[in-house]
């Protein structure tokens, strides 16, 4: 009898517990929602974050790898000749996809199809092109159409797209984004670059289009000319006020509010300016030298500056390491160093080359000279972003230009002059510098004892976890080696 | 009248008590060889009593007495000495010769000896009256009859081979016959009660699955700070590994292989019913290294452990629900239950252990620091590279890192010079008592450790209290544990700049570590070994960098049971595990690689886990003659909340003030993670004679899964049968067969379902910054994972239980595993959480115990364990062929999960070879590396074996344990770096004249390119990058533990205040008898996480020798 009683009690209780357990799951959704995050983004807070994080910690790929390749930095202790495997060459790839591209793809997705948010959407699309271009230029074929879609579409192993198709899409993206801006709709808030100014954004979009167009001049001259003309006729940057500059905060910590540009000289005593850069500035009496170069003891006298020969083993460094020049901590090598992503000066130098080659309708050799002069002039003026002490007088700029007239008589010389100026102007933006050097071949780099890379290798992890993607890229563009050339670099 | 005699009882018999009392009358005698007359004369004078006696008595000689006592005592002595009888009548005492003792009629005892369960008679059982040393055997009917027993209280001892011995107190009364039937329990059927899931006690003999237990002595004789180390080699199928993360670092333990592809694979720890969070605070990753902050299991005091039970399979652990899919380790702490009523016992234990760093390295000592075959000639050169590509060590002066010229000679004692002997002193005291209603135990222990690395130490204090009370129908059990863990200067390990172990192993051959002292220059800045300060000067690390952390932990449980009737009880439990963790570390200004002024991290973490459980059940009831049932149902709410707070900053404003407030830039962040699981469960036990059936069911609701798929019911069933003795041949003592099949489910971590946006703790010019917070792709479609296991086994015992064998086969399949997997970064995320994957584990476990000798003077037991686990990753879901678990700092070795292979494949590169297998060399004579990743085998051991021997000889005991593991590989970053740095003996060829690699060139012709000494470093850099060269077989045989003990014999302890005194000499990790890994201990995994098979430079292995003293008061 008591057996039956006990079993009845147990069964009854089990039923009660079942009901209780089920009904007590009502607050599970709130329990499983983090109090530290929200499901819906606030676009005006995401935009400044994206603008600040467009630049990776400049130390890794930019300085240690590209800065050394480009004869601007030299360190005997960093692995220079073995660019094949390592975290530094793959850093840019990993960072761009994991941070700005992820946020940009989402930003564009969040603003898609909503007329009221069209200005945010257009800014997102332009910045997305900017971010993708810096990756494809370095690595070649990359995931583009299905990239950073892990959450939206669940694509965890995106396919690698040919660079030719990526470029084709980037041109139309820039054009459509620029066309879509609508002054009657909400302007972007907290835009730390252009303060929501649509005109500025359009100028940036077309200036970027010009950069893209010039890049493909050899491999696809028809489209190169087409898009260069579209860009020119649609309105480019008109002055240094139009530059795409991101200012970082002094005395800050980590990537969102600092850029890592100071790292080699503040942290490592073996990093020095490379001899080719210092020698170039000295031999040309370049008035920028005191902004670019200083001895560790604070001496900025141009004649005293000394660059470390690239790729020098430690035991062959002739002088004590403290004898060599570094970037000044008050200008380029500071925590708050502003970063110029794209400048009026670059636009003028590009136009100079395009005019020289007769690609822009209606522009010729004479225009090339004035563009060149404007470009050099702007390159010197833009350094005033480091403060009043670094404003170069118009007189010394004029003197410099006077002594460095563009030699339009010899095309190669002129191209060398233009692109060498580009090389000096893009200091610390080695992503752009390396690409422009590969395209133009100028300046001639003074590297010995190793083959100068034409691209960077894919992250090792991609070979491991996205093997099919890498295999498709290898099939399309060639072996995953630093000697393989990307599509536009033929 | 009082009669005093020397009869058997010798009691004083009082007939009449007058005012004058012989027991109150003081007398004093001092006589030698006197006659009795003289005695009585003196007594008459002193006492006033008069003695009447005859001549014969008066003449009795030879009385020697020296007494100062009462008269009755004295007369009693006289009565005894001379066989007299005294009869007092008022003040007269009559003295006569004592008559013969009056016989007291004896009693007798009879009865039957029966088998406990069956009531069958047991012929031949031994029956003894202990005090009289009289005994006999039971007859064919199991009957016995012992007669002629003097009245009194005795102990009746009944014993029989292979049955339990019973000791029964009896009282024989004069002339009566006592009837006592004794039921003996078969010792093979002995109800060996173990604590199993939900703190329920079960009889181990009727479980349909394997439950294995260890006695507390098995883990506290040879103590280690982390309990995991003490489990190595002691339970079949349990892989306890010795990751070299320092004394207080986290350790890894897995049961029956790997269950989850990327989840936690370590078992749930339950102490006195309280689930303990044993997740490491942070795990040093294999590639970037860092600090291992320990796993919380150091908070278990080995001296408190009464027993450890391991629930290996799903069936055993199913009632614990989702967290039991990786097995459960149950610890029961000691109580006061074994203390006699109203007694108190004090136990003391003190252990001192010495840890010696072992140097397994055998580097080259022929060539020193330098480049291109040249020794450094300037400080700048010496600072440029710490590698050993210099000249022949010829004793000539060579410039070193500090600019000082020293003889260019090999320094072979850097390890011995840098490391010190680690010391651990553990003291524990406990007080146990029993009032009859309540038994309790209070204990306190203190552990004080100084590590082999200077200035690194660890202290731990544990206070615990438990009490068990039974008031009629109410049972109340309460446990409270408080643990204070304090570590100072936990060292960074793996690929960290400041890993001192790396620095010591990789110092240039000719640099003496002592020359790097004191770590700073006169200006207080780091004395650098290289110009970039990588690696950091080890003395700067140990003297100037700082880390300290404190963990304060409280575990508590309150269990109340009420027995309403004899057929219904209810039990409620509240369980709490709470800890607060504070950590601070800083790098002072002056460190070379951070010239900005150092930095500081401060972390705080609080973790609370609560379980509320309610059970209603019925104890064993008979349904029919042999059919019995017991059952319970219950529910549980599990809730955890983890809150973190971190502040990181740089640089310091004022020198020498290392606090957050003194940082000029601060970067704070906080975290909050809550999860809850509701569960209901039920359990039914049915038995029919010796056939037992157990059915369980549990349903979980997980807060971490989507509302529409957050629940799962999973059942379990197990069956066992104890084969009756009559069916077994004589040499088989007992036999049991068992089988079970059960499922266990599992949920996910919090907040993995949707994408979310987080705010940056810092603003930009007043603007808040927001971005996607996920680096793992969330999944809105997660489902609970499911693990299904079937298990079959047998427990056999032979030759009167001298040999026993437990054999188990199991097969476990995990499906729709919740996997956090590395995904292509081009997806925007580094990981994804997916319900993919299917993995199987199939294996056998066997335990053989042999009692070689057993006597009162010498006992010898041998225990052998062997287990084999075959793991197979069946599927990783659509389009995924492999997942990455970890990678080496050197970037040339990965740990991957590969479809179709055993878990945790070590992958990397091999030489480029032609079809004939010859190595292909480049135009520069350097071997080419094949960039296709190859698999080199799993980093997880699949065969475990151990052999332990226990000897007891008189008061001595000697135990030793051989432990071995087989079937795993390990990639040694240490050996790879030693080749890259020119430290390995492998780099000796070619130093003088260069070398020509043996193989072919790209065209297929024999390679004939000479690599000159100047370019040798590039040649060996290529050799170092070939993963395959440094993947070794990680098998080993170790002499894991030795203990030699001496227990002071009883006859000696009675002269001391102690009831028990034991002294032991213990040793751990004394010898490696077999290994295949050059320059290292094969058990040197960098991390305790799932990425097993990667060795980087970690703490040196240590040999531990200790002295332990245990005493009871």
Tell me the per-residue pLDDT of B707-755, one tens digit each, with 9 for 90 and over. Answer: 888 888 989 999 999 887 778 888 888 899 999 999 988 888 888 888 8
**Burial of B576 from C-beta contacts in 10 A (0-12 / 13-18 / 19+):** middle
* B933 vs A9, A33, A464: nearest CB: A464
Q: Tell me what the pLDDT averaged over chain A comes to.
A: 90
B 898-957: CB under 8 A from A: 907, 931, 933
Residues of chain B contacting A102 with CB distance shorter than 8 Å: 772, 828-829
Q: In this structure, how many other beta carbons lie within 10 angstroms of the beta carbon of residue A285?
A: 13
B775 touches chain A (CB under 8 A): yes
Query: CA dihedral defined by A60, A62, A65, A69, rounded to 10 degrees?
Result: -160
Cβ–Cβ gap B771/A50 under 8 Å: yes
Cβ–Cβ gap A28/B771 under 8 Å: no
pLDDT above 90: percentage of residues in chain B: 42
Residue A27 has pLDDT above 70, yes or no: yes
**DSSP count for chain A of H helices, then E strands:** 20, 5
**pLDDT, mean of residues B54-68:** 82
Residues of chain A contacting B758 with CB distance shorter than 8 Å: 36-37
**CA–CA dist B977, B973 (Å, integer):** 6
pLDDT, tens digit (0-9, with 9 covering 90-100), for B164-214: 778 788 888 888 888 888 888 765 444 566 777 777 777 777 777 877 888
Assess contact for A63 and A263: CB atoms under 8 A: yes
pLDDT above 70: percentage of residues in chain B: 95
**CA–CA dist A97, A113 (Å, integer):** 24
Cβ–Cβ gap B827/A156 under 8 Å: yes
Cβ–Cβ gap B767/A48 under 8 Å: yes
Residues of chain A contacting B826 with CB distance shorter than 8 Å: 93, 97, 142-143, 147-148, 158, 462, 466, 469
Task: Output the six-digit token pair for B1062.
Answer: 């034991």
**pLDDT, mean of residues B342-370:** 92
A253 touches chain B (CB under 8 A): yes
Cβ–Cβ gap A147/B680 under 8 Å: no
Cβ–Cβ gap B703/A313 under 8 Å: no
| pLDDT score of B50 | 84
* B710 vs A11, A25, A76: nearest CB: A25
Task: Output the six-digit token pair for B681.
Answer: 């469960």
In angstroms, the Cα distances linking A467 to A214, A265, A472, B641, B1022 are: 32, 38, 9, 40, 24
| pLDDT score of B244 | 65
Q: Tell me the Cα Rg of chain B.
A: 38
Assess contact for B97 and B81: CB atoms under 8 A: no
Task: Output the six-digit token pair for B111.
Answer: 């009865």
Q: Looking at chain A, how many residues does it have?
A: 490
B249 touches chain A (CB under 8 A): no
* B760 vs A9, A49, A143: nearest CB: A49
Selection from B41, B44, B40 nearest residue B84 by Cα: B40
Residues of chain B contacting A39 with CB distance shorter than 8 Å: 754-757
Question: Closest approach of chain A CAs to the CA of B914, in angstroms?
Answer: 19
Torsion over CA: A432, A435, A437, A440 (sign): negative
Nearest CA in chain A to B681: A14
B 814-843: CB under 8 A from A: 822-830, 832
Q: Which of A17-31, A138-152, B462-476, B1077-1091 has the lowest mean pLDDT?
A: A17-31
Residue A263 has pLDDT above 90, yes or no: no
**CA–CA dist A374, B582 (Å, integer):** 59
Q: Are strands B929-938 and A271-273 parallel, antiparallel or unpaired?
A: unpaired
Confidence of residue B837 (pLDDT cuts 50, 70, 90): confident
Question: Closest approach of chain B CAs to the CA of A185, in angstroms?
Answer: 22
**CA–CA dist B458, B375 (Å, integer):** 42
Cβ–Cβ gap B827/A2 under 8 Å: no
B255 phi and psi angles, rounded to 5 deg: -120, 130
Q: Tell me the Cα Rg of chain A.
A: 26
| pLDDT score of B102 | 59
- The listed range with the strongest mean pLDDT (A135-139, A449-453, B62-66, B732-736) is A135-139
| pLDDT score of A220 | 96
Torsion over CA: B511, B515, B521, B527 (sign): positive
**CA–CA dist B707, B701 (Å, integer):** 9
**CA–CA dist A389, A4 (Å, integer):** 96
Cβ-based neighbours of A1, under 8 Å, separated by 6 or more: none
Assess contact for B276 and B462: CB atoms under 8 A: no
* A320 vs B380, B674, B891: nearest CB: B380
pTM for the whole structure: 0.80
Residues of chain A contacting B566 with CB distance shorter than 8 Å: 2
Task: Output the six-digit token pair for B554.
Answer: 């409280």
pLDDT, tens digit (0-9, with 9 covering 90-100), for B293-337: 887 777 788 888 888 888 888 888 788 877 788 888 888 888 888
* B758 vs A37, A99, A462: nearest CB: A37
Element (H, E) at B52: strand B50-52
| pLDDT score of B820 | 81
**pLDDT, mean of residues A79-106:** 81
Cβ-based neighbours of B411, under 8 Å, separated by 6 or more: B507, B509, B510, B511, B512, B513
Assess contact for B607 and B640: CB atoms under 8 A: yes
| pLDDT score of B162 | 60
Residue B1055 has pLDDT above 90, yes or no: no
A 423-482: CB under 8 A from B: 459-467, 469, 480
Confidence of residue B4 (pLDDT cuts 50, 70, 90): very low
A219 touches chain B (CB under 8 A): no
Assess contact for B475 and B444: CB atoms under 8 A: no
Higher-confidence residue of B213 and B370: namely B370
B 98-157: CB under 8 A from A: none
A249 touches chain B (CB under 8 A): yes
Element (H, E) at B603: strand B599-622
Question: Closest approach of chain B CAs to the CA of A184, in angstroms?
Answer: 25
pLDDT, tens digit (0-9, with 9 covering 90-100), for B116-134: 766 777 777 788 887 787 7
Residue B92 has pLDDT above 90, yes or no: no
What is the interface size between A and B, counted as CB pairs within 8 Å? 288
DSSP secondary structure string for all residues of A1-45: -HHHHHHHHHHHHHHHHHHHHHHTTTTHHHHTS-TTEESS--HHH
Task: Output the six-digit token pair for B72.
Answer: 């009755």
B 733-762: CB under 8 A from A: 750-751, 753-760, 762
Q: Strands (DSSP E) along B1048-1092, which ranges? A: 1060-1075
B798 touches chain A (CB under 8 A): no
Q: In this structure, how many other beta carbons lie within 10 angstroms of the beta carbon of residue B269?
A: 23
Question: Closest approach of chain A CAs to the CA of B376, in angstroms?
Answer: 8
Q: Which of B12-21, B469-478, B637-646, B736-745 has the lowest mean pLDDT?
A: B12-21
B359 phi and psi angles, rounded to 5 deg: -100, 110
State whether residue A136 is helix, strand or coil.
helix
Report which DSSP code applies to A97.
I
Assess contact for B284 and B758: CB atoms under 8 A: no
Selection from B589, B472, B612 nearest residue B525 by Cα: B589
Nearest CA in chain B to A469: B824
**CA–CA dist A391, A384 (Å, integer):** 5
Q: In this structure, how many other beta carbons lie within 10 angstroms of the beta carbon of residue B678?
A: 24
**pLDDT, mean of residues B786-810:** 91
Q: Tell me what the pLDDT averaged over chain B comes to.
A: 86
Q: Which of A249-253, A450-454, B509-513 has the lowest mean pLDDT?
A: A249-253
B 678-707: CB under 8 A from A: 678-680, 682, 699, 701-704, 707
Cβ–Cβ gap A192/B670 under 8 Å: no
């Amino acid at each position: 009898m008591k057996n039956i009683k006990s079993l009845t009690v147990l069964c009854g209780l089990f039923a009660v517990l079942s009901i209780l357990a089920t009904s007590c799951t009502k607050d599970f959704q709130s329990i499983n929602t983090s109090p530290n995050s929200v499901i819906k983004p606030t676009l005006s807070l995401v935009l400044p974050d994206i603008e600040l994080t467009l630049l990776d910690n400049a130390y890794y790929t930019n300085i240690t790898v590209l800065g050394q390749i480009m004869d601007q930095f030299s360190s005997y202790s960093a692995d220079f000749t073995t660019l094949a495997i390592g975290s530094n060459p793959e850093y840019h790839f990993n960072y761009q996809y994991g941070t700005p591209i992820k946020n940009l793809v989402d930003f564009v997705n969040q603003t898609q199809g909503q007329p009221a948010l069209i200005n945010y959407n257009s800014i997102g699309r332009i910045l997305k092109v900017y971010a993708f271009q810096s990756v494809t230029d370095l690595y070649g074929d990359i995931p583009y159409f299905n990239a950073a879609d892990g959450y939206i579409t669940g694509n965890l192993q995106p396919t690698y797209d040919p660079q030719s198709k990526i470029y084709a899409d980037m041109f139309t993206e820039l054009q459509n984004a620029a066309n879509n801006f609508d002054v009657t709709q909400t302007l972007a808030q907290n835009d730390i670059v252009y303060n929501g100014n649509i005109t500025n954004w359009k100028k940036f979009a077309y200036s970027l289009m010009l950069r893209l167009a010039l890049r493909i001049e050899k491999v696809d001259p028809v489209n190169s000319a087409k898009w260069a003309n579209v860009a020119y006729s649609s309105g480019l940057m008109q002055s240094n006020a139009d530059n795409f500059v991101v200012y970082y905060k002094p005395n800050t910590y980590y990537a969102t509010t600092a850029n890592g540009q100071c790292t080699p000289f503040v942290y490592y005593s073996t990093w020095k300016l490379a001899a080719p850069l210092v020698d170039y500035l000295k031999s040309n009496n370049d008035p920028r030298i005191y902004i670019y170069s200083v001895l560790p003891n604070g001496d900025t006298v141009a004649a005293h500056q000394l660059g470390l020969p690239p790729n020098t083993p430690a035991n062959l460094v002739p002088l004590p390491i403290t004898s060599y020049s570094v970037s000044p901590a008050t200008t380029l090598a500071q925590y708050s160093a502003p970063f110029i992503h794209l400048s009026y000066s670059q636009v003028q130098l590009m136009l100079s080359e395009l005019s020289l080659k007769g690609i822009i309708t209606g522009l010729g050799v004479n225009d090339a000279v004035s563009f060149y002069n404007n470009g050099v002039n702007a390159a010197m003026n833009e350094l005033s972003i480091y403060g009043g002490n670094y404003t170069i007088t118009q007189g010394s700029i004029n003197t410099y230009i006077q002594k460095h007239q563009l030699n339009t008589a010899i095309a190669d010389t002129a191209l060398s002059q233009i692109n060498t100026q580009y090389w000096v102007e893009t200091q610390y933006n080695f992503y752009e510098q390396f690409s422009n050097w590969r395209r133009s071949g100028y300046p001639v780099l003074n590297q010995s004892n190793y083959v100068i890379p034409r691209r960077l290798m894919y992250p090792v992890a991609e070979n491991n976890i996205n093997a099919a993607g890498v295999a498709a890229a290898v099939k399309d563009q060639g072996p995953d080696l630093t000697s393989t050339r990307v599509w536009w670099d033929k | 009248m009082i009669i005093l005699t020397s009869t058997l009882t010798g009691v004083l018999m009082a007939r009449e008590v007058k005012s004058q009392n012989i027991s109150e009358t003081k007398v004093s005698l001092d006589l030698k060889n006197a006659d009795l007359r003289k005695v009585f004369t003196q007594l008459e004078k002193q006492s006033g009593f008069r003695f009447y006696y005859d001549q014969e008595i008066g003449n009795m000689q030879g009385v020697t007495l020296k007494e100062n006592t009462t008269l009755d005592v004295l007369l009693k002595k006289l009565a005894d000495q001379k066989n007299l009888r005294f009869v007092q009548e008022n003040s007269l005492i009559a003295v006569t010769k004592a008559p013969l003792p009056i016989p007291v009629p004896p009693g007798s005892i009879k009865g039957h000896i029966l088998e406990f369960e069956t009531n069958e008679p047991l012929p031949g059982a031994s029956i003894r009256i202990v005090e009289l040393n009289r005994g006999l055997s039971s007859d064919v009917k199991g009957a016995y009859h012992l007669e002629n027993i003097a009245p009194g209280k005795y102990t009746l001892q009944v014993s029989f081979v292979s049955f339990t011995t019973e000791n029964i107190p009896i009282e024989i009364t004069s002339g009566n016959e006592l009837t006592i039937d004794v039921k003996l329990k078969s010792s093979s059927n002995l109800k060996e009660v173990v604590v199993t899931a939900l703190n329920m006690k079960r009889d181990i003999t009727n479980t349909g699955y394997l439950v294995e237990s260890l006695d507390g002595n098995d883990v506290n004789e040879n103590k280690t700070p982390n309990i995991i180390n003490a489990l190595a080699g002691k339970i079949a199928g349990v892989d306890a590994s010795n990751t070299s993360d320092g004394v207080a670092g986290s350790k890894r333990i897995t049961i029956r292989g790997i269950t989850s592809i990327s989840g936690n694979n370590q078992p749930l720890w339950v102490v006195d019913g309280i689930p303990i969070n044993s997740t490491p605070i942070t795990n040093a990753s294999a590639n970037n290294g860092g600090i291992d902050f320990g796993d919380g299991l150091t908070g278990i005091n080995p001296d408190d452990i009464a027993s450890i039970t391991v629930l290996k399979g799903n069936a055993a652990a199913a009632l614990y629900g989702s967290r039991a899919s990786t097995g459960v380790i149950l610890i029961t702490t000691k109580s006061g239950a074994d203390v006699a009523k109203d007694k108190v016992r004090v136990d003391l234990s003190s252990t001192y252990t010495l840890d010696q760093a072992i140097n397994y390295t055998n580097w080259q000592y022929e060539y020193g620091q330098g480049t291109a075959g040249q020794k450094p000639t300037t400080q700048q050169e010496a600072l440029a590279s710490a590698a050993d590509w210099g000249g022949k060590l010829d004793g000539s002066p060579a410039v070193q890192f500090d600019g000082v010229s020293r003889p260019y000679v090999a320094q072979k004692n850097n390890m011995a010079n840098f490391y010190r002997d680690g010391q651990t002193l553990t003291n524990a005291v406990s007080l146990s008592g029993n009032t009859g209603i309540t038994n309790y135990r209070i204990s306190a222990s203190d552990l004080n450790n100084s590590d082999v690395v200077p200035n690194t130490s660890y202290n731990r204090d544990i206070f615990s209290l438990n009490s068990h009370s039974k008031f009629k129908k109410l049972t109340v059990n309460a446990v409270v544990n408080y643990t204070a863990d304090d570590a100072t200067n936990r060292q960074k390990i793996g690929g960290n700049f400041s890993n001192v172990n790396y620095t010591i192993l990789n110092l240039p051959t000719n640099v003496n570590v002592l020359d790097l002292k004191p770590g700073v220059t006169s200006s207080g800045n780091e004395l650098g070994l290289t110009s970039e300060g990588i690696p950091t000067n080890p003395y700067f690390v140990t003297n100037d960098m700082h880390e300290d952390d404190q963990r304060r932990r409280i575990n508590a449980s309150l269990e109340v049971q009420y027995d309403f009737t004899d057929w219904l009880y209810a039990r409620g439990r509240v369980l709490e595990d709470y800890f607060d963790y504070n950590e601070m570390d800083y790098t002072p200004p002056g460190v070379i690689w951070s010239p900005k002024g150092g930095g500081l991290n401060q972390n705080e973490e609080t973790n609370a886990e609560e379980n509320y459980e309610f059970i209603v059940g019925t104890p064993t009831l008979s349904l029919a003659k042999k059919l019995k049932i017991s059952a319970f149902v219950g529910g549980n709410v599990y809730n955890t909340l983890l809150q973190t707070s971190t502040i990181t900053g740089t640089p310091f404003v004022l020198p020498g003030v290392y606090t957050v407030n003194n940082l000029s830039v601060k970067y704070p962040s906080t975290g909050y993670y809550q999860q809850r699981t509701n569960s209901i469960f039920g359990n039914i036990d049915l038995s029919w004679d010796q056939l037992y059936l157990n059915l369980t069911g549990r349903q979980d609701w997980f807060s971490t899964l989507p509302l529409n798929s957050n629940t799962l019911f999973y059942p379990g069933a197990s069956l066992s049968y104890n084969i009756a003795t009559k069916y077994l041949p004589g040499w088989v003592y007992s036999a049991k067969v068992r089988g079970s099949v059960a499922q266990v489910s599992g949920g996910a971590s919090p907040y993995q379902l949707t994408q979310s946006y987080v705010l940056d703790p810092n603003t930009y010019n007043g603007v808040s910054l927001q971005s996607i917070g996920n680096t793992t792709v969330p999944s809105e479609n997660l489902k609970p994972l499911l693990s299904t296991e079937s298990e079959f086994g047998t427990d056999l015992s032979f030759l009167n239980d001298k040999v026993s064998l437990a054999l188990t086969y199991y097969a476990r399949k995990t499906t729709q595993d919740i996997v956090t997997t590395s995904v292509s970064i081009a997806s925007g995320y580094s990981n994804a959480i997916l319900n993919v994957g299917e993995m199987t584990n199939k294996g056998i476990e066997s335990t053989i115990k042999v009692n070689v000798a057993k006597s009162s003077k010498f006992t010898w037991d041998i225990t052998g364990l062997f287990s084999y686990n075959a793991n197979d990753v069946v599927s990783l879901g659509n389009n995924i062929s492999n997942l990455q678990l970890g990678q080496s700092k050197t970037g040339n070795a990965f740990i991957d999960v590969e479809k179709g292979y055993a878990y945790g494949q070590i992958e990397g590169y091999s030489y480029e070879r032609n079809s004939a297998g010859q190595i292909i060399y480049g135009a520069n004579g350097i071997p080419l590396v094949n960039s296709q990743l190859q698999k080199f085998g799993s980093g997880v051991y699949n065969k475990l074996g151990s052999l332990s021997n226990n000897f007891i000889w008189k008061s001595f005991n000697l135990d030793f344990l051989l432990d071995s593991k087989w079937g795993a590989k390990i990639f040694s970053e240490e050996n790879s770096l030693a080749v890259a740095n020119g430290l390995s003996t492998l780099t000796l060829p070619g130093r003088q004249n260069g070398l020509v690699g043996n193989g072919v060139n790209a065209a297929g012709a024999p390679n004939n390119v000479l690599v000159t000494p100047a370019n040798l470093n590039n040649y060996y850099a290529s050799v170092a990058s070939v993963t395959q060269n440094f993947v070794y077989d990680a098998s080993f045989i170790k002499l894991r533990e030795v203990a030699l003990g001496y227990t002071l014999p009883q006859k000696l302890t009675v002269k001391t205040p102690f009831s028990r005194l034991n002294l032991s000499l213990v040793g751990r990790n004394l010898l490696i008898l077999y290994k295949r890994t050059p320059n290292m201990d094969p058990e040197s995994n960098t991390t305790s996480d799932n990425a097993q098979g990667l060795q980087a430079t970690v703490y040196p292995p240590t040999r531990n020798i200790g002295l332990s003293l245990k005493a009871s008061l």
